[in-house]
């Protein structure tokens, strides 16, 4: 076992060399410790170089010119589409490039405007990020549909028994996170999808926190739709993807209209382009798409099974270290049932005082440690858990045990400052 851990440590140190920002000194010459990967990940030099090459040597619009630069840009952009669709097991026509997970979720919500009627049901979960809640609240307001929620098992995992109860023949759409951005809980996506399909409902998976961290195969899940963000998987901000089964995307109405998403236009009407371009109106984020393709190639070189092993290794170690501190409350399931996300609070221990996560984060920052503090765009979940906010550390392939140890040492300082 120790040989396996040594091998993972060696791999982590090797990957760290690809990330220029990790060499940066901040806050009185302290080395950056970046533990906010659930919010966004850092970028390897391979991705930075791919973007730089596009803007330095190829910069041109796609699908609009027959000159050399446009042809090269189109080839690079479409190649990025192909490698990204392959990455999640989708066909080329089944992957739309978006600017983030939120846009993908909104495309689906908009597409259901003409498919829902008063009394129809939308089923979400209690774990939702605002991006997978607010669009469907608005959809329900506009259509008269009713929103229902899959409950949790002690705020650790989604409750399949609850899903069996709330998903009915009136349910038209079921949407839930593959992995919670607050608790790290990994949802039983195949089981939930099966329940939904037994009632004729479509399934949308919010995969913002799963696609970057584990092997995801949309055909194996059998969901109708799945959305993810590039910036959480080493790619540039402003990049992401929406998967949809080809027959579903053919039925779905576009969110945006304009150039490149049309086949023909008259002064009276228009017809839509073939997939996936039907949903990519206007000039796309070509550099971002190329960067996403480069990020996928980087992850493919590592292998998603290894990415998952590294994160489980770090998460398990961090949770064991946190368990040594009696003034820390950790939320969510055990390490083997979660991804690389740990939300916690400094509760002060016996006779101690609660330390607000913003104070925890501020002291961490003074030591060069970047963590998250707040409700993590999941305010209803925080209210249900009866906490105002949490601190959150989240890991990726370049984090180390030493960084976790430094974070634990700083938490001890936090406790001393507020509860001495």
What is the pLDDT confidence band of residue 262, given thresholds at 50, 70 and 90? confident
Is 47-301 assigned to CATH 3.40.640.10? yes
Query: Is the pLDDT confidence value at 197 over 70?
Result: yes
386: left (phi over 0), alpha (psi -120 to 50) or beta: left
CA distances from 75 to 59, 62, 81, 242 (A): 12, 8, 10, 20
pLDDT attached to residue 1: 55
pLDDT in tens, 330-378: 999 999 999 999 999 999 877 789 999 999 999 999 999 999 999 999 9
pLDDT attached to residue 84: 98
Of residues 350 and 272, the one with the higher pLDDT is 272
CA distances from 65 to 57, 70, 74, 271 (A): 16, 5, 9, 21
Of residues 253 and 260, the one with the higher pLDDT is 253
pLDDT in tens, 274-318: 889 899 988 999 999 999 999 999 999 999 999 999 999 999 999
pLDDT in tens, 42-96: 999 999 999 999 999 999 999 877 899 999 999 999 999 999 999 999 999 999 9
Question: What token pair was written down for 206?
Answer: 């919010």
Q: What is the rounded average pLDDT of the residues 411-415?
A: 95
Alpha helices in 303-400 (DSSP H): 304-323, 357-366, 379-385
223 flagged as catalytic: no
Q: What is the rounded average pLDDT of the residues 394-403?
A: 98
Q: What is the rounded average pLDDT of the residues 239-258?
A: 94
Strands 152-153 and 121-125: unpaired
pLDDT attached to residue 2: 65
Q: What is the rounded average pLDDT of the residues 223-228?
A: 98
Contacts of 362 (CB under 8 A, 6+ apart): none
Residue 229: beta bridge partners? Answer: 240
One of 26, 377, 384, 408 is an active-site residue; which one?
377
pLDDT attached to residue 203: 98
Question: What token pair was written down for 104?
Answer: 């993908």
pLDDT attached to residue 258: 86
% of the chain beyond a pLDDT of 70: 99
Query: Is the pLDDT confidence value at 322 over 70?
Result: yes
Fold classification of 2-31+303-415 (topology level): 3.90.1150
pLDDT attached to residue 157: 96
Q: Is the alpha carbon torsion for 153, 378, 188, 331 positive or negative?
A: negative
Max CA distance (Å), the chain:
75
Using the CB atoms, write b or e for 58-72: b if 16+ within 10 Å: bebbbbeeeeeebeb
pLDDT attached to residue 5: 72
What is the pLDDT confidence band of residue 212, given thresholds at 50, 70 and 90? very high
**Alpha-carbon distance 7 to 150, whole Å?**
40
**Alpha-carbon distance 36 to 370, whole Å?**
6
pLDDT in tens, 131-144: 999 999 999 999 99
Query: Is the pLDDT confidence value at 221 over 60?
Result: yes
pLDDT attached to residue 107: 96
Query: Is the pLDDT confidence value at 177 over 90?
Result: yes
Query: Is the pLDDT confidence value at 395 over 60?
Result: yes
Residue ranges per structural domain of the chain: 2-31+303-415, 47-301
Q: What is the rounded average pLDDT of the residues 108-136?
A: 96
187: left (phi over 0), alpha (psi -120 to 50) or beta: beta
pLDDT attached to residue 351: 77
**Alpha-carbon distance 108 to 219, whole Å?**
18
């Amino acid at each position: 076992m120790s040989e396996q851990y040594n091998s993972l440590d060696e791999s982590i140190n090797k990957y760290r060399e690809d990330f220029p920002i990790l060499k940066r000194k901040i806050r009185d010459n302290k080395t950056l410790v970046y533990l906010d990967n659930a919010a966004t990940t850092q970028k390897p030099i391979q991705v930075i170089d791919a973007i730089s090459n596009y803007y330095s040597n190829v910069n041109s619009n796609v699908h609009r010119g027959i000159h050399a630069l446009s042809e090269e840009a189109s080839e690079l952009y479409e190649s990025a589409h192909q490698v990204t669709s392959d990455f999640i097991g989708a066909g080329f026509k089944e992957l739309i490039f978006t600017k983030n997970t939120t846009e993908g979720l909104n495309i689906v919500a908009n597409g259901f405007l003409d498919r829902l009627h008063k009394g129809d049901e939308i089923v979400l979960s209690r774990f939702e990020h605002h991006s997978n809640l607010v669009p469907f609240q608005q959809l329900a307001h506009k259509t008269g549909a009713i929103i229902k929620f899959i409950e949790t098992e002690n705020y650790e995992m989604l409750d399949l028994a609850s899903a069996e109860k709330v998903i009915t023949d009136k349910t038209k759409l079921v949407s839930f996170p593959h992995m919670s951005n607050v608790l790290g809980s990994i949802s039983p996506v195949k089981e939930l999808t099966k329940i939904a399909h037994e009632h004729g409902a479509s399934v949308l998976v919010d995969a913002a926190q799963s696609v970057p961290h584990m092997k995801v195969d949309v055909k194996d899940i059998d969901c109708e739709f799945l959305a993810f963000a590039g910036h959480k998987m080493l790619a540039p901000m402003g990049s992401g993807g929406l998967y949809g089964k080809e027959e579903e995307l053919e039925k779905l109405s576009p969110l945006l209209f304009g150039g490149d998403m049309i086949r023909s236009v008259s002064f009276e009407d228009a017809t839509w382009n073939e997939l996936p371009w039907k949903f990519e109106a206007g000039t796309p984020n070509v550099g971002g798409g190329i960067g996403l393709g480069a990020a996928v190639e980087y992850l493919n070189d590592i292998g998603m099974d290894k990415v998952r092993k590294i994160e489980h290794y770090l998460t398990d170690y961090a949770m064991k270290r946190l368990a040594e501190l009696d003034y820390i409350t950790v939320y969510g399931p055990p390490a083997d049932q979660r991804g690389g996300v740990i939300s916690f609070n400094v509760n002060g221990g016996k006779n101690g005082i609660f330390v607000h996560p913003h104070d925890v984060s501020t002291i961490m920052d003074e030591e060069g440690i970047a963590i998250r503090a707040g409700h993590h765009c999941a305010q209803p979940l925080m209210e249900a858990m009866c906490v105002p906010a949490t601190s959150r550390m989240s890991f990726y392939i370049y984090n180390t045990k030493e960084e976790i140890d430094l974070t634990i040492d700083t938490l001890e300082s936090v406790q001393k400052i507020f509860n001495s």
